[in-house]
Structure 1
Amino acid sequence: MLNDDMTIGRLARETGCKAPTIRYYEEIGLMPQPFRTDGNQRRYGSRHLGRLTFIRHGRELGFSLDAIREFLSLADNPEQPCEAADRIARAQLEAVESRIARLNALKVELKRMIAQCKGKRISECRIIEVLADHGECLHEDHAKSV
Structure 2
Amino acid sequence: MTFLKIGELARRSGLSVETLRYYERRGLIPPPDRLPSGYRVFPQDTPKRLAFIKRCKTLGFTLEETLELLQLQHHPEQESAVVKQRVDERIEEIGRKISDLQQIQQALQGLSALCSGKGSTADCPILAFLEQEPTDTSATDSNTRG
TM-score of the alignment, normalized to the shorter chain, above 0.5: yes
Q: d(CA) in 2 for partners of 1:42 and 1:132?
A: 55
User: How far did 1:46 drift?
Assistant: 2.9
Amino acid at match of 1:35: D
For residue 13 of structure 1, what is the aligned residue in structure 2? 11
Report percent identity of matched pairs: 30
Q: Secondary structure at the match of 1:138?
A: helix
For residue 141 of structure 2, what is the aligned residue in structure 1? 138
* Structure 2 residue runs without a partner (length 5+): none
Q: Which residue among 79, 82, 85 is the counterpart of 2:80?
A: 82
Structure 1 consecutive aligned stretches of length 4 or more whose deviation exceeds 4 Å: none
Deviation readout 1:50-74 (Å, 9 max, x if unpaired):
1111112111111112211111111
Q: Which moved more, 1:51-60 or 1:34-43?
A: 34-43
Q: Which moved more, 1:130-139 or 1:12-21?
A: 130-139
Task: Say if 1:127 and 1:41 are closer, same or farther in 2 by CA, change over 3 A.
Answer: farther
Q: d(CA) in 2 for partners of 1:52 and 1:122?
A: 50
1:118·1:126 contact (CA, 8 Å) conserved in 2?
no
Q: Which moved more, 1:128-137 or 1:57-66?
A: 128-137
For residue 55 of structure 1, what is the aligned residue in structure 2? 53
User: How far did 1:82 drift?
Assistant: 0.6
Amino acid at match of 1:112: G
Q: d(CA) in 2 for partners of 1:100 and 1:85?
A: 23
Equivalenced residue count is 137
Return the TM-score normalized by structure 2.
Answer: 0.81
1:15·1:52 contact (CA, 8 Å) conserved in 2?
yes
1:17·1:56 contact (CA, 8 Å) conserved in 2?
no
* Structure 1 residue runs without a partner (length 5+): 140-146
User: How far did 1:23 drift?
Assistant: 0.8
Amino acid at match of 1:91: E
